[in-house]
Amino acid sequence: MKKIIGQRISEYRKKKGLTQEELSEIIEISPHYMSALERGVYNIKIETLVKIFNALDCSADEIFCDVVKRSCVVKSGELSEKVKELPLEEQNKIFNVVETMIKNVKA
């Protein structure tokens, strides 16, 4: 779980265009500790998490979406945004695949 959360933090940090050093400076931790958090070496204190959410302008849902059961709403929203960027023909292909998969799961 720590590794998954660390990977999400890394992903959002990169989306924000920050290096580990820059983020660690913003949230007032050492670059070494920031690196260890992203690699899943340490448990993250709640205070540090809140600083990370604020610095990266993201929600807890976005960081925990791979480890919390109710996070499918966040994932589906992210996928929806990605699909919207595709040409209509590609969107329809994706929808057909997903609908087929859902039918197979329900069968």
The pLDDT tens digits for 32-81 are 999 999 999 999 999 999 999 999 999 888 888 777 766 566 677 788 88
**What is the reported pLDDT for 106?**
82
- Cβ burial, residue 40 (10 Å; 0-12/13-18/19+): middle
To 5 degrees, how large is the angle CA 70–CA 65–CA 26?
135
**What is the reported pLDDT for 70?**
62
Model-level pTM?
Answer: 0.66
- Pair 31, 2: CB distance under 8 Å: no
Segment 84-97, tens digit of pLDDT = 999 999 999 999 99
